[in-house]
A and B are shown apart, each in its own frame.
Chain A
Amino acid sequence: MTNARARLALLGVLVFTIVGASAPAQADAFVGYYNCVMKPSNLWCDGQANGSYDGIDDWDYNEGWYPGAWDGTVTACQRLYRPSDGVTANSSSCDLNYTSTDYGNVTCACWEANVKQISGGDHSINGAADTDF
């Protein structure tokens, strides 16, 4: 392999990887998945603390769930939060194991989607947000 060809091949791999990793699942309905492993109780995942971050978008659906055994010990909570003014959208919610909200018509691409677990101890908590639920 010549040096030029090698450079070209490596560049191709790099571009493919970056584009592939950043492309939304669907062109018109971006779904953001996020998980926090062994998160302390009552600490937000995603956009807060040390969770992964899906960014600010016009999320119209958010759900949170406990990925462990649903034995009634872990409460999952979710919310949409607008960092620009600190507002939390109506219909934030909590429930044992799993909670979700269809936020209806959301026009402002200004929301963070967060989840957290409440259990009194460290547990994992997962979430998914959708821009076109």
Chain B
Amino acid sequence: MKALKQNVPLTALALVALAALAVGAVAQGGETPPGAGVSQVTTIEAEAQEAMEVLDTSRTSSDAMPSEVAESIDENARFGMNPDLSRESIDTIANDVYVVPADDHVCISLTVGDGANISCRETGDVADGDTGAATVTLAGGSIGIYGIVPDGVESVTVNTGESDSDVVEVEDNAYLAVLPEGTPLRTLSYTGPSGVVEFPLHDPAVVFEEE
């Protein structure tokens, strides 16, 4: 103790460092990403198949996600999503939409370049028709708006500007709208099993500029 007292500056520095490490450890412990560590599903859950016909169809080679994206998901599967069970709902020249089964969740992925944006919804919310859309900045600045809906929803409405709206057809339980850069976004709405639902839309590019 006497030796420690004789080294007050060093002792204080060590205690401060230890305290900082402890605080950091506590903070990281609370920062686990949602769905991390969940085992990859090996089958599509029945509730998801009942809600989405696209998941109740046989998988073909065209349903496979780009291999690099699939490998990345395999190594870091959130919510237990399994790209080996994916279904391709929308195929365009630049961007494709995949539905990816997960554990108590259904995930969706929009390819962008050689990567992909990924979102996940609780299966019950998908079945209830109570899920919103993801917005993504695409090449050239256009805005991608995409999501999934249950069987029976044939279209969604993207509300833009002050009063404009675009009706977007649903393909295999998914929709994708690509709007020009700078289009003011308001909401996405549709009528599902739970009635009319409406969700806010935010243009990521505008979000950047607003700070």
Contact = CB atoms under 8 A, between A and B. Distances in A.
Contacts of A14: 10, 13-14, 17
Contacts of B210: 42
Contacts of B113: 90-91, 103-104
Nearest to B36: A128
Interface in B112-133: 112-120, 132-133
A90 B132 CA distance: 21
A65 interface: yes
Interface residues of A, number: 55
7 shortest interchain CB distances as A-B pairs: A104-B115, A6-B3, A104-B114, A17-B17, A92-B204, A95-B134, A91-B112
A99 to B, nearest CB: 6
Contacts of A133: 72, 75-76
Nearest to B114: A104
Contact of A126 (B31, B69, B112): B31
Nearest to B25: A21
Interface residues of B, number: 53
A113 interface: no
Given A21-B21, A96-B199, A88 B208 contact: yes
B204 A77 contact: yes
A128 B73 contact: no
B117 A128 contact: no
Contacts of A130: 76
Interface in A1-23: 1-3, 5-7, 10-11, 13-14, 17-18, 20-21
Contacts of B200: 75, 96, 118
Nearest to A11: B10
Contacts of A91: 112-113, 115-117, 136-138
Contact of B68 (A81, A104, A116): A104
Nearest to A37: B27
Contacts of A60: 115
Interface in A84-120: 88, 90-105, 116, 118
